[in-house]
Amino acid sequence: MTLTVKETGNFSVPFLELGETYQELKNELTSVFQKVMDSGWYILGEEVSKFEEEFAAYCGVTHCIGVGNGLDALHLILKAYDIGEGDEVIVPSNTFIATWLAVSYVGAKIIPVEPDERTFNIDPHEIEKAITPQTKAIIPVHLYGQPTKMDEINAIAKKYDLHVIEDAAQAHGALYKGKKTGSLGHAAGFSFYPGKNLGAFGDAGAITTNDDILAEKIRMLRNYGSKVKYTHQLKGYNSRLDELQAAFLRVKLRYLDKWNERRVLIANAYLNSISNKNILLPKLDENINHAWHLFVVRTSDRNSLQSYLKSHHIDTLIHYPIPPHLQQAYAERNWKKGSFPISEDIHNEVLSLPIGPHMNEPSVQKIINVVNGYLLDE
């Protein structure tokens, strides 16, 4: 992207224009919609199995199991590994709360581990200190679309015989040492919530894995614990990927790489052209390809940056304002301010700038110029 015009125009920049993806693909989406409706088959049909094949191939794994949403994907993996009461699961202290809720669903104990200040991803050096004889699994999150240091995490997991469950909900198509997220641990959970890099037009999720036994068990768990209709081996759930959503996802999957490339262009424009000393830009690990689900900057007075951008008609969001350990939902653990200080500081100082496959160049230029003017022209 070349920046030529000095753009600070009076137009508004929304955080994300979800409707644009529909507009771009309207004909294709309408045609698959009609195909599914005409088929008369609306649950676990051909579209779901085809999407599962295609997404498994995309991630470079042998199995994909479509489920209701990203939280269920993580929950069903933990359940299939028989993780529950009395077990401990290591999670990042700095993540969207769904990572934690999946662990709470199965009754296991959450063990939060602080992030690396550079990348905001879980710090492998801190993981080993948190392991006890009760530890059963680690759930690294590829936060904002940047893959976590998986070699280090897999080595620790091997040493202590732990499951590695990727939370890949923000990292569709991201690469670690040339390999796709979703293929980097024992199993991975994806969300296709509309705003994700690969998003449905409603709730949807999936699990990817190379483990045949795990895959078979999750296929049963998502469908009442049943493999053969009306025969139930397990006390399962109802968490199936919707047939219509699968049809939409098959269309959108073909555009994912193109849209991720567009995100990379925008992120690189920000990285190369935002030069405000009050603002810390995201830092990238070596050997990774970032999916840029979010472009998150850090500054000591985040709220004032947010109002400044708002006054220039630029929408931003905070991912996330309150760390999971200080949420009322986890009051029973008695964590306090200061329990996980690195995560708390991050939560206090981050701001997400608009990024998305349909953002135009004037919007990108405007954001760069306005951000660079912050605290200078007041």
Ligand X SMILES: *Cc1c(COP(=O)(O)O)cnc(C)c1O
- Measured from the CB atom, is 51 or 308 closer to ligand X? 51
Report yes or no: 31 and 25 within 8 Å, Cβ to Cβ.
no
Site for ligand X in 276-315 (CB under 6 A): none
- Measured from the CB atom, is 5 or 329 closer to ligand X? 329
User: Going residue by residue from 250 to 269, which x/- string records binding to ligand X, judged by CB under 6 A?
Assistant: --------------------
Report yes or no: 165 and 78 within 8 Å, Cβ to Cβ.
yes
Query: At its nearest, how many Å lie between ligand X and the CB of residue 121?
Result: 11
User: Going residue by residue from 88 to 127, which x/- string records binding to ligand X, judged by CB under 6 A?
Assistant: -------xx-xx----------------------------
**Angle at the Cα of 248 (from 244 to 253), degrees rounded to 5?**
140
Joined together, the tokens standing for residue 83 give 């993780």
**Is residue 69 involved in binding ligand X (CB under 6 A)?**
yes
> How far, in whole angstroms, is CA 236 from its chain's centroid?
25
Query: At its nearest, how many Å lie between ligand X and the CB of residue 294?
Result: 9
Q: Which stretch binds ligand X (CB under 6 A): 67-75, 306-314, 344-352, 366-374?
A: 67-75
Query: At its nearest, how many Å lie between ligand X and the CB of residue 190?
Result: 8
Strand partners, 99: none
**Is residue 140 involved in binding ligand X (CB under 6 A)?**
no
Site for ligand X in 340-369 (CB under 6 A): none
**Is residue 169 involved in binding ligand X (CB under 6 A)?**
yes
Query: At its nearest, how many Å lie between ligand X and the CB of residue 51?
Result: 15
**Is residue 191 involved in binding ligand X (CB under 6 A)?**
yes
- To the nearest 10 degrees (0 to 180), the angle between helices 302-311 and 361-373 is 130
Residues in binding contact with ligand X, number by CB under 6 A = 15
Q: Compute the distance between CA of residue 315 and CA of residue 313 in angstroms, rounded to an integer.
A: 6
Supply the DSSP string of 98-132, one letter for each residue: HHHHHHHHTTPEEEEEPBPTTT-SB-HHHHHHH--
Q: Return all residues near 45 (Cβ < 8 A) that are at least 6 apart.
A: 36, 39, 243
Write phi, then psi, for 138 (nearest 5 degrees). -120, 135
* SS3 of residue 290 by DSSP: coil
> How far, in whole angstroms, is CA 130 from its chain's centroid?
24
**Is residue 141 involved in binding ligand X (CB under 6 A)?**
yes
- The site for ligand X (CB under 6 A) is made up of 69-71, 95-96, 98-99, 141, 167, 169-170, 191, 193, 203, 205
